[in-house]
């Protein structure tokens, strides 16, 4: 049984006018470069022994990880694993029941407001204001950080160009496609030039073309030295973007390392997917003998091996089966570590 938790809301800095003014005075007014008392240490986010309970169920159980400047850290796990709860704790939106969080050099939740001034968030669902234009959404949100109007107007063209929306600046939100809204939400998260970007399933619901545009933008940000915390259910997204990954389930860390290291540690290098009318019979008679590890899911047999050639030789002689030979990927890792059962 899993506990449903609220999705990640987009937090405003929630600072007072005086605090916003002080932040603005510390802002660099030329270009998108807002360095507000940037910490010297290399770790941008450190989570130690995090715990959070909803009623009788502990949904985050002693989770620890850290993200270094310039990294994209992928937080992976099935529904109900504790990902969004972890993000909400990191942002100070809910109080943890135990552990410590330090974000951009500030203790959270004690100094969550000060930390959020230097963080950008892309939530699971777009929450742009439908009553305003593209330009107005960026300007109004930038005002929450106390940025002078002149600074926002100067940044606006570059933010729109980054989002591929230069020709849509005065267009209403309701007329934008899903991909356009998602790119605008990402641009909005950059309005304060954050040290850390937190992305909660940023490409869910987008078509492949829109997903690739978002990926291109995120790779551009990483090349500029931005730091990203990413949660996603798309394993190819994590594989393309993340330099380090953590897989969590039931609120507990299962594994953490670089994508390549995790694959090497946990999954055989070659995979053959066998399907067709005779796939199950072949798997029972031949596959379990030839594969190092075999899993049946529906009509498909997933066969894992260090050397797939003996299986390929056998399959070439069999009628009634089709097969796909491929290298192991993060989806294989994810399923091995968390299982194939459906999570609500």
The mean pLDDT values, 10 residues at a time, for the chain of 344 residues are 41 42 39 40 92 95 96 94 94 97 97 95 92 96 92 94 93 94 94 95 88 91 94 93 96 96 97 95 96 94 97 94 96 92 68
List the structure tokens of 140.
């109004």
Half-sphere exposure of residue 26: CA atoms within 13 angstroms, side-chain side: 15
Judged by DSSP in three states, 235 sits in: helix
Distances 24 to 18, 218, 235 between C-alpha atoms, Å: 10, 26, 39
Q: What angle do CA 102, 106, 107 make, to 5 degrees?
A: 55
pLDDT of 14 = 45
Q: Which of 343, 336, 320 is nearest to 271 (CA)?
A: 336
- List 324's β-bridge partners, or say none: 273
Judged by DSSP in three states, 257 sits in: strand
Q: What angle do CA 264, 266, 268 make, to 5 degrees?
A: 70
pLDDT of 40 = 44
For residue 48, the Cα-to-chain-centroid distance in whole angstroms is 20
Contact 96, 50 (CB under 8 A): yes
Contact 328, 263 (CB under 8 A): yes
pLDDT of 343 = 67
């Amino acid at each position: 049984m899993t506990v449903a938790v609220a999705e990640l809301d987009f937090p405003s800095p929630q600072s007072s006018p005086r605090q916003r003014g002080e932040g603005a005075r510390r802002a660099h007014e030329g270009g998108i470069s807002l360095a507000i008392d940037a910490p010297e240490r290399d770790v941008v986010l450190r989570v130690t022994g995090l715990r959070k309970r909803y009623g009788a169920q502990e949904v985050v159980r002693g989770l620890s990880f850290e993200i270094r400047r310039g990294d994209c850290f992928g937080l992976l796990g099935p529904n109900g694993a504790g990902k969004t709860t972890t993000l909400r704790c990191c942002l100070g939106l809910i109080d943890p029941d135990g552990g410590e969080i330090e974000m951009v050099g500030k203790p959270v939740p004690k100094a969550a407001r000060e930390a959020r001034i230097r963080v950008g968030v892309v939530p699971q669902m777009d929450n742009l204001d439908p009553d305003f234009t593209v330009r107005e959404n960026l300007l109004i949100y930038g005002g929450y950080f106390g940025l002078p109007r002149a600074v926002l107007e100067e940044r606006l063209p570059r933010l729109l160009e980054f989002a591929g929306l230069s020709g849509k600046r005065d267009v209403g939100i309701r007329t934008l496609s899903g991909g356009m809204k998602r790119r605008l939400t990402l641009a909005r998260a950059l309005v304060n030039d954050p040290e850390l970007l937190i992305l909660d399933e940023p490409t869910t619901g987008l078509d492949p073309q829109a997903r690739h545009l978002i990926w291109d933008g995120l790779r551009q940000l990483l090349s500029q030295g931005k730091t990203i915390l990413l949660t996603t259910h798309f394993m190819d997204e994590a594989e393309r973007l993340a330099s380090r990954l953590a897989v969590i389930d039931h609120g507990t860390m299962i594994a953490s390392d670089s994508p390549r290291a995790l694959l090497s540690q946990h999954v055989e290098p070659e995979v053959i997917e066998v399907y067709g009318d005779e796939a199950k019979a072949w798997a029972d008679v031949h596959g379990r003998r030839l594969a190092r590890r075999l899993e049946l899911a529906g009509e498909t047999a997933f066969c894992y091996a260090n050397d797939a050639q003996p299986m390929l030789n056998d399959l070439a002689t069999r009628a009634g089966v089709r097969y796909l030979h491929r290298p192991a990927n993060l989806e294989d890792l994810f399923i091995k570590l968390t299982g194939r059962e459906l999570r609500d």
